[in-house]
Structure 1
Amino acid sequence: MRSGVFLDSPPARITVPRVSRREWRVGVSAAAALFLAACASVRTRPEQGPLDVAQVYLGSWAEGDLAALRRVVVEPPANLEEQHQRFRDDLRIISSRFELGRVEREAESARVTFRAIHVLRGLGEWEVDGTLHFVRREERWWVRWSPAVLHPEAREGDRFSRTRTRPQRADILDGHGQPLTREGEVITIGVEPRRIQSRAAVASALQAQLGVDPARLEKVLSTPGLSPEHFVPIIDVRPERYQQVRPALAPVPGIFFRRKSGVRLSPAEGFAAHTLGRVGEVTAELLEQLGPTYQRGDVVGLSGLELAYEVQLAGLPSGEVRLTRPSGELRVLGRFEGLPATALYTTLLPEVQSAAEAALEGVVQPAALVAVDSSTGAILAVASRPLDQPLNRALTGRYPPGSTFKVVTAEALLAGGMGVNAPVTCPPAATAGGKQFRNFEGEAFGETRLRTVFAHSCNTAFVLLSDALGADALGAAARRFGFDVEYRVGLPSPGASFPLPRDKAELAAAAIGQGRVLATPLHMASVAAAAESGRWRAPFLVADVIDAPSASLAAGTRGPLQALMRAVVTEGSGRAGASVTGLAGKTGTAEFGSGTPLPTHAWFIGFRNGIGFAVLVEGGGVGGRVAAPIAAKFAAAL
């Protein structure tokens, strides 16, 4: 140690936990808050040393209180605040935090080292090791300021700047490893408010031709600060769709069109739209969620897989922090290496997806169709309608499964020793736990066989059988089919739940897929797949999902269960699919809501040639009449 110089011991060090570029979050951490509180307290202490003044200076810098900096600087330059502000603006710094280091002090001068962690919008964290120099005058310690406070290499007249380059967005791939997305051209259909003569006419035309909700148009036109002279985009359509609607839209005053290239497109309009998702300019809400490596104007995933795997598909930007001398000399002060974008491998098969899309063509009610590979659980197709609603009904909608759950109940009965031709009774009505249950449209088959009551979906037979079966046996069968099992799909999907029945009435309702039983269409597709393969496998959409849960059906139940499901198509409620060779399934008409009679969802779950699938038409009515024809159309195309 040099004579006349001493090191404060121990050195003061106020640290804030390091945050990676991926884990960064906006806001001052708890440690930083303590740091700022300490700064506030030292301002009131009568005799401040260099470390105390350093805390005040860096604390004010972190808070953005530039006016406070001048109060601790000796002979501050006239543009002190301006230089700090320009440093922040030129580099787009959104926050700064500091770690104090070592203090070296002589009689009338001192140095305090520090580390600055600046968060640069669109790039992330940039760390700079700096030094504050001090001079003692009139029994006070003052910061001796120069541009080197901002960065050790900075001199008077230097300017800071930055560069930024984003990687090319990676592809979403199908189950064959081929891209499901490509760059193409769309037509943006929008309005110019000052040219609109009738809002009602514009709203009517956009709704009739493109399904745009009039309320959405009204909300857009009522946006505060909207310029009446500017083009306001409403919806993007492909060129072929544009050619179809242009004759009806072009004559309406106020509607205009603009071409937009370089847009990420799926193979066809509406193709797996909810699942693949869409990209567009980052919203304010997403900008906050995605963190500092993003900035306004970035094109990001806004929904579906594009959003869920945004960082993987987009990579991380690279860039440089630069300093330019008045002479023109350029120095690179820091580099952001970035990360390349990586393709996302999915299990979707275009041929199966196209069959699903075609099967739902013309369905005007909310609907879903989802298909899985019976031997692996891989999701092959996901279709949800309507396209202009964000809800992916196939994956996230939870509904009472109705009589499709009789697949589970039948497996429990078969596991308990019943045979396909075991004698059962199907009366017009049956009572369990004081609650009366009836068959659809008053059907009754009297003394018959299990095969018949399953094929024709006799509720009363299953209500009577549930009493002898018991809640434990039915619950065990439900778990064999994945109910109450958590699994990862690759997108949000809540699976299925089978709450343990609390009494005989709930047990009877559960046995026919009512009461508190709920499932997604995806999960019911996995139920159908399990009936074909003999083993339930958790469905998955992203190829790198590992350790997915699975469970075997009860020994000896696979063959009889398949025979029951085939009978549904050949002789029962699913005869709409009788012409499709090898198709087996189960219809469902699931009550929900309130009213007399209760509204019903239309279901069909089935399998054919190694593919299990489910069809749901929300509020569609009778499964055999509404869902079964859709299922037959899909299965025939496989």
Structure 2
Amino acid sequence: MRPLRLGVGCALTVLLGSGCSVLGGDDGPRAADTADDLAAALSAHSLGDVPLVDEAAREAFADLVGPLDEVRVSVEVLDVVEVEEEGRADATLGWRWEVADGAAWEYETTVGLTQGTDGGTWAVGWRPDDLAPDLADGDTLGLRTVAPVRGDITGADGAVLVTERPVLRYGLDKTKVEGGQVARSARRIARALDVDVASYVQRAEAMGPDAFVEAIVLREDEALDVLPAFRDVRGALAVRDTLPLAPTREFAAALLGRVGPATAEVVEESGGRIAAGDEVGLSGLQARYDEQLTGTPGAAVVARDAGDRLRTLFEAPATDGADLVTTLDPALQQEAETALATLGDGAPAAALVAIRPSDGAVLATANGSGAAGSDLASMGQYAPGSTFKVVSSLALLRSGLRADDVVSCPATTVVDGRSFTNYDDYPASAVGDITFTQAIAQSCNTALIGNVDRLGPGDLAAAAQALGLGTDHDLGFPVYFGQVPPPETETGAAADMIGQGTVLASPFSMATVAASVRAGRAVLPVLLPEHQVDQVPPERPLTGAEAGTLRGLMRAVVTTGSGRFLQDVEGEIGAKTGTAEYGEPDASGALPTHAWMIATRGDLAVAVFVATGVSGSQTAGPVLEAFLRAAG
């Protein structure tokens, strides 16, 4: 037996007395040609029209390779060796599967070829291990996604805010029920879990007989309450799993967002990055930074034998997601949630934002239960009421008014036919001629409106800009920085002075105002330290002297004015209360009011907003006080 070796693309001819080559010569079939045809067919995930020793192998190959149809493969002939006396040849094939980006599965197999007895056509004796080493009859192949570990969301000093935490997925195992029992079990499960009965029954009936019909996902510590009523239902199943979650359900929920199965819209907009069933960020920071947090999936080629044993043939590892760093202080964030909870069940929408003036770090941003999942803390657009008098004060100081100047605070003032008054329980002792400091401390509307003519066009907006309000910045997440548009009427200009009219702000922007007063400059809030922000400086920056006077005015609110209830709270506190009318009048003709309060203490600035309240001091004040006391 004498082997003859063929290099790829070579036609090695051994001349015999008859004039024929060992491989058939230029005019006859060659093993190398068949090997080349085989490699071309395999690169298209098939055996093509290549002659086979056993035709049944063609269908068996198609079934075996089918799960890898979406994986690009290239096959080339590395070598062909013919055994002349036996009429057979061995073709060495080089395989390269592009299993994942930057990860290829490469190996070699040797395929046997047999020549017909008449010295004609070469046929391939295909076997499972010709596709991949160690494959055997009865094996099946599969392509498994290797999920990356999702990145955490961290807070101040690296504290982990959002990470994988245990959950229970409650639902119906349809392999345990059939016929009319499906609807009966689904109905009982929906009632036990307090989910919509009709829609859950409809989903349960529509899904396949082997499906797990998920009803709800609960944190492990919340799940125990539903177990007694749930476990008695036929087919009821609770599956343990994990999800990226914050410490509590309420913890910065609107800001951080949530993770869940990709919706059809998310899949469509992803450009192929996301597939149906993938767990992705659906809202908040989880959605905006989903690609960073998700990482890159890997893939594994697996084989399952006739005994149902699984083994991995090749694995392209996943690239885990990167953490998203924030400045949130977990202790202060929790205290903010707790303070808002003091408003009680059924409370109106409310929010609290805390900022560190020295560096702009956002320490807490919380929304009360009445916000119904909306991020009012960052994106709410409301009239700020008398908290805006901090801005109006700066504009008036720049016009030449001094803190100790005497101003008139009448009970009522009229501008262009519209009457303006002070709030209902305004102290009678502070009506008449009072200092500007006392006008701010007691929050006299008429005193500020009476000085509106001191301001020129754009003065109020410039003062707002100097305190960080009214200039948009891309902070890496949605924020409403407020607006101070030019007034269109004298009445509008008067209303603007007391934070009504067309002036709007969010709790976030009013916390920025308070922080700017404390820092002595327009503070640029920072939640995501790794996000680069192009700050637009104010046209007329806040000066040290101006900031000092504003701090004195806010301190007077606590020592002698509407914020006196904060006097026994630790630290030197400056504050400003605010009440703003909105909406339609009730039967008595009274308008509902927003309640606001802002404050500073040391290196902390806070804004509290309650959508409907009695006044800033009576409704927002207790929330702010609870937060400051807890913050220490």
Q: Report deviation, 1:281.
A: 2.3
> What's 1:113 paired with?
none
- Counting aligned pairs with the same residue, the percent is 35
> What's 2:574 paired with?
584
Is 2:165 the counterpart of 1:184? Answer: yes
d(CA) in 2 for partners of 1:617 and 1:578?
22
> What's 2:124 paired with?
none
State the AA in 1 paired with 2:621: A
d(CA) in 2 for partners of 1:621 and 1:590?
10
State the AA in 2 paired with 1:622: S
Is 2:238 the counterpart of 1:258? Answer: yes
- Structure 1 pair 556/417, CA: closer, same or farther in 2 (3 Å)? farther
- Structure 1 pair 278/564, CA: closer, same or farther in 2 (3 Å)? same
CA contact (8 A) 2:333 2:363 kept: yes
State the AA in 2 paired with 1:381: A
> What's 2:472 paired with?
486
C-alpha distance after superposition, 1:265-291 (max 9, x if no partner): 322342222222222222222222233
> Pick from 245, 261, 264: which aligns with 1:284?
264
Higher mean displacement: 415-424 or 312-321: 312-321
SS at match of 2:545: coil
> What's 1:466 paired with?
452
> What's 2:4 paired with?
none
Is 2:608 the counterpart of 1:615? Answer: yes
CA contact (8 A) 1:467 1:507 kept: no
d(CA) in 2 for partners of 1:293 and 1:336?
17
State the AA in 1 paired with 2:591: L
d(CA) in 2 for partners of 1:604 and 1:504?
27
- Superposition CA RMSD, Å: 4.7
d(CA) in 1 for partners of 2:234 and 2:372?
25
> What's 1:415 paired with?
398
Unaligned runs of 5+ in 2: 1-47, 73-96, 105-129, 173-181, 305-311
CA contact (8 A) 2:328 2:363 kept: yes
C-alpha distance after superposition, 1:15-53 (max 9, x if no partner): xxxxxxxxxxxxxxxxxxxxxxxxxxxxxxxxxxxxxxx
> Pick from 621, 624, 630: which aligns with 1:631?
624
Is 2:311 the counterpart of 1:317? Answer: no
- Structure 1 pair 540/257, CA: closer, same or farther in 2 (3 Å)? farther
CA contact (8 A) 1:534 1:553 kept: yes
CA contact (8 A) 1:124 1:293 kept: no
Is 2:525 the counterpart of 1:539? Answer: yes
- Structure 1 pair 297/562, CA: closer, same or farther in 2 (3 Å)? same
SS at match of 1:538: coil
> What's 2:441 paired with?
455
C-alpha distance after superposition, 1:223-244 (max 9, x if no partner): 5955699875454433433445
State the AA in 2 paired with 1:542: L
d(CA) in 2 for partners of 1:494 and 1:486?
7
> What's 2:184 paired with?
194
- Structure 1 pair 592/387, CA: closer, same or farther in 2 (3 Å)? closer
CA contact (8 A) 2:422 2:445 kept: yes
Is 2:295 the counterpart of 1:305? Answer: no
Is 2:325 the counterpart of 1:348? Answer: no
CA contact (8 A) 2:169 2:241 kept: no
d(CA) in 2 for partners of 1:410 and 1:394?
24
C-alpha distance after superposition, 1:272-325 (max 9, x if no partner): 22222222222222222233232233222222222221111111123378999x
Is 2:368 the counterpart of 1:385? Answer: yes
d(CA) in 2 for partners of 1:407 and 1:92?
67
d(CA) in 1 for partners of 2:207 and 2:615?
50
- Structure 1 pair 236/484, CA: closer, same or farther in 2 (3 Å)? same
> What's 1:424 paired with?
407
Q: Report deviation, 1:526.
A: 0.7
State the AA in 2 paired with 1:513: G
Q: Report deviation, 1:352.
A: 1.2
**Whose radius of gyration is greater, 1 or 2?**
2
d(CA) in 1 for partners of 2:71 and 2:443?
63
SS at match of 1:176: helix
Is 2:151 the counterpart of 1:170? Answer: yes
d(CA) in 1 for partners of 2:335 and 2:562?
23
> Pick from 550, 556, 566: which aligns with 1:567?
556
Q: Report deviation, 1:604.
A: 0.9
- Structure 1 pair 518/288, CA: closer, same or farther in 2 (3 Å)? same
d(CA) in 1 for partners of 2:367 and 2:235?
29
Is 2:273 the counterpart of 1:293? Answer: yes
SS at match of 2:550: helix
CA contact (8 A) 2:326 2:527 kept: yes
Question: Which residues in structure 2 correspond to 1:151-166 (within 5 Å)?
Answer: 162-166=143-147
SS at match of 1:237: strand
Unaligned runs of 5+ in 1: 1-72, 96-117, 128-152, 207-211, 325-331
d(CA) in 1 for partners of 2:336 and 2:455?
37
d(CA) in 2 for partners of 1:568 and 1:580?
14
Q: Report deviation, 1:259.
A: 4.9
CA contact (8 A) 1:293 1:316 kept: no
C-alpha distance after superposition, 1:583-619 (max 9, x if no partner): 2211111222222322111111111121111111112
State the AA in 2 paired with 1:634: F
- Structure 1 pair 569/244, CA: closer, same or farther in 2 (3 Å)? farther
d(CA) in 2 for partners of 1:386 and 1:293?
34
d(CA) in 2 for partners of 1:264 and 1:168?
10
d(CA) in 2 for partners of 1:460 and 1:91?
77
Is 2:334 the counterpart of 1:360? Answer: no
Higher mean displacement: 439-448 or 359-368: 439-448
Question: Which residues in structure 2 correspond to 1:135-154 (within 5 Å)?
Answer: none
CA contact (8 A) 1:482 1:496 kept: no
Aligned residues: 511
> What's 2:420 paired with?
437
> What's 2:76 paired with?
none
SS at match of 1:382: strand
- Structure 1 pair 346/337, CA: closer, same or farther in 2 (3 Å)? same
> Pick from 349, 357, 361: which aligns with 1:374?
357
> What's 1:496 paired with?
482
State the AA in 2 paired with 1:569: V
d(CA) in 2 for partners of 1:231 and 1:372?
46
- Structure 1 pair 323/504, CA: closer, same or farther in 2 (3 Å)? same
State the AA in 2 paired with 1:505: T
SS at match of 2:439: helix
d(CA) in 1 for partners of 2:595 and 2:348?
11
- Structure 1 pair 225/486, CA: closer, same or farther in 2 (3 Å)? farther
- Structure 1 pair 237/569, CA: closer, same or farther in 2 (3 Å)? farther
Q: Report deviation, 1:567.
A: 1.8
- Structure 1 pair 323/543, CA: closer, same or farther in 2 (3 Å)? same
SS at match of 2:526: coil
> What's 1:9 paired with?
none
State the AA in 2 paired with 1:377: G
Q: Report deviation, 1:570.
A: 2.6
CA contact (8 A) 2:349 2:371 kept: no
> What's 1:605 paired with?
598
d(CA) in 1 for partners of 2:482 and 2:475?
13
d(CA) in 2 for partners of 1:255 and 1:91?
35
State the AA in 2 paired with 1:270: E
State the AA in 1 paired with 2:293: L
State the AA in 2 paired with 1:590: A
SS at match of 1:496: coil
CA contact (8 A) 1:154 1:323 kept: no
Is 2:394 the counterpart of 1:404? Answer: no
